[in-house]
Chain A
Amino acid sequence: MTEKKFMAGNEAIAEAAVQAGCRCYFGYPITPQNEIGEYMSWRLPQVGGCYLQAESEVASIYMVFGAAGAGTRVMTSSSSPGISLMQEGISYIAAAELPCVIVNMMRAGPGLGGIQPSQSDYFQATKGGGHGDYHMLVLAPHTAQEAVNLTMLAFDLADKYRNPVMILGDGNIGQMMEPVEFKSPEKPFVARKEWIVTGAKNRPRNIIKTLFLDPVILEKRNLAMGAKLREAVKNEVRFEPYMIEDADIVIAAYGTVARIAKTAIKILREKGLKVGLLRPISLYPFPYQAFAQTAERVKSILVVEMSLGQMVEDVKLAVCGKSRVHFYCRVGGMVPSYDEIVAEVEKIAKEAK
């Protein structure tokens, strides 16, 4: 299917999942991502899949655990407060090395917060969230088309690494309607799954568990998890350099903010300022090297986030003092306008003179 369809981001993500082979969805309604579950409720039965509205996000994530253990491609989605409820389950899924995709359409927090977009779950997504040593692979689309592509990629990565993968978006990306097309991957990843629970017929029983009371064994498992994540760090870094080759000032932003930054850059370039954007696509693994290399040439990096400052810490870590890191944010559901970003860059440019 290569015809273009006009779809909201949430719906596009759901359709992309189905086309990637997802046959189970468990979720609970929460704004601003209800369209994902609603879409799945009629789409999955069409392909013989299973849609179930669970009694809570807690139940949802454990239904995902069950279905993933049974060998199917499975997804859930939620928004910030619901993702908080899922943290224990995500820790269990990572510990049991089960593949799944989790979509978080971030909304303003903390607490019940608001329903407008935000990026204040970056720490939760990339640094942990649940207990124990694990990481989700985290992908951040900035358009509906990219959301489609990354959702399809997410299922392959989940199977490749036997790990949960998160699509980190926000209400803007979920609600905005854009033309998208669905292209099946040329070489879909087919995972060997001898470990799944399907009934112990003609083989020893399979046990999906995460309790290992012997620390000798548990250390081995944790070290193996670390090795697996290092492989992901080596192979799965994704980012977009946008007009940074000749830039004096580079903006660092992801998701919705990156799109707004691109408009700001167009305006700034017309004003004669050499500005670019380094847009992380994978938030875990974070493109540390790309930022380090950029910091060698560039005097100032402006990190713009819809949070009080989360990704900026990773940028500072990467840059290691080689370049000055500035920060601008809007929070509480407020979305920065391109004017504000233009003004911030102009301020930085003036100070640099």
Chain B
Amino acid sequence: MEMEMVSGRPKTLLPVPTHYCPGCGHGVIHRLVAEVIDGLGIREKTVVVAPVGCAVLLYNYFDVDAYEAAHGRAPAIATGCKRVNPELVVFTYQGDGDFAAIGTAEAVHVAARGEKITTIFVNNAVYGMTGGQMAPTTLLGQKTTTTTSGRASETAGFPIRMSEMIATLPGAAYVARVSVSSPKNVAQAKMAVRKAFETQIKGLGYSLVEFLSQCPTNWHMTPVESVRWVEEQMVPYYPLGELKVPKEEY
């Protein structure tokens, strides 16, 4: 019985053990993006802009040219790069602090300009790198190190649905929210990433894929418990699906 390999490490994902915690969503998301880069054959013209956060070291894992951005400023750096070399495929990879807090002006304006770049936005409802503080995406009632009694709207406001906000902007051509909490969701997430990159390549405008991602360490759960938490607690507030697609067919 001759066997062939049907699934393995994508070429663009370097064989370097990552620093991410066991079960962390970043690892899956990195792999999906690398698979899409391989599938589209664009490795040699792809540029990634790394965030501040757990994924700050992603340039150790992706075999593409990279910038490391200041916190929240990746869309501005990506804009500078893309405007100089429009034929490159430029994507930012950002967490909730980067995209939904300090970098929200840059997030809104990169979409408002219809900048032909892609953002992979990793929403794990917490600030991971710094030890588990509240994020703008933290759910009401969720306990974090700065909302030890659970997030209360009177003092800490309400979680932000970034994808819905960005989708209202005409410059945003493709907006989708996905998760990596189950094999089915992973497969659908990969399709969204591919569509986002194709949106950029076709010059249709700004593309955003928001990933609901698990953070077992700062949620104080096992990886298996954490993917269940994504599906049971996060998805009701952050619904999955394509919020906006360009009029053109794929």
Contact B85 A66 (CB under 8 A): no
Q: Is the interface of B mostly helix, strand, loop or mixed?
A: helix
Contact B73 A89 (CB under 8 A): yes
Contact A55 B105 (CB under 8 A): yes
Contact B83 A24 (CB under 8 A): yes
Q: When each residue 12-55 of chain A gets 1 if its CB lies under 8 Å from chain B and 0 otherwise, what string results?
A: 00000000000110100000000000000000000000101011
* B contact residues, range: 35 or more
Q: Which residues of the partner chain B approach A64 to less than 8 Å between Cβ atoms?
A: 80
Contact B64 A88 (CB under 8 A): no
How many residue pairs link A and B with beta carbons under 8 A? The number is 123
Contact B65 A206 (CB under 8 A): yes
Task: Tell me the residues in window 27-74 of chain B with beta carbons closer than 8 Å to chain A beta carbons.
Answer: 43-47, 49-50, 56-57, 59, 63-70, 73
Give Cα A63–Cα B84 distance, bound, in whole angstroms: 10
Give Cα A54–Cα B85 distance, bound, in whole angstroms: 18
Q: Which residue of A89, A197, A211 is within 8 Å of B47 (Cβ)? A: A197
Give Cα A36–Cα B77 distance, bound, in whole angstroms: 22
Contact A62 B77 (CB under 8 A): yes
Give Cα A26–Cα B45 distance, bound, in whole angstroms: 24
Chain B, Cβ-Cβ closest to A209: B68
Contact A200 B79 (CB under 8 A): no
Contact B67 A198 (CB under 8 A): no
Contact B44 A200 (CB under 8 A): yes
Q: Which residues of the partner chain A approach B80 to less than 8 Å between Cβ atoms?
A: 24, 26, 62-70, 74
Of listed A59, A66, A68, A70, residue having the most chain B CB within 10 A: A66
Q: Which residues of the partner chain B approach A198 to less than 8 Å between Cβ atoms?
A: 65, 85, 88
Contact B106 A209 (CB under 8 A): no
Contact A199 B46 (CB under 8 A): yes
Q: Which residue of A55, A88, A199, A201 is within 8 Å of B70 (Cβ)? A: A88
Contact B88 A205 (CB under 8 A): no
Q: Which residues of the partner chain A approach B201 to less than 8 Å between Cβ atoms?
A: none
Contact of B139 with A by CB under 8 A = no
Contact of B78 with A by CB under 8 A = yes
Q: Which residue of B50, B64, B84 is within 8 Å of A205 (Cβ)? A: B64
Residues A59 and B85 in contact in the complex (CB < 8 Å), given A205-B66, A208-B66: no
Residues of chain A touching chain B, judged by Cβ–Cβ distance below 8 Å, are 23-24, 26, 50, 52, 54-56, 58-60, 62-72, 74, 88-89, 92, 197-202, 205-211
Other than A55-B105, A66-B84, give 8 A-B pairs with Cβ distance below 8 A.
A23-B84, A54-B109, A66-B79, A66-B82, A88-B70, A201-B45, A202-B44, A207-B67
What are 27 A-B pairs at a CB distance below 8 A? A50-B83, A52-B113, A58-B105, A59-B76, A59-B109, A60-B76, A62-B77, A62-B106, A65-B69, A65-B73, A65-B77, A66-B67, A66-B82, A66-B84, A67-B80, A69-B67, A71-B84, A72-B84, A197-B66, A199-B85, A200-B64, A201-B44, A201-B45, A205-B64, A207-B65, A207-B68, A209-B50
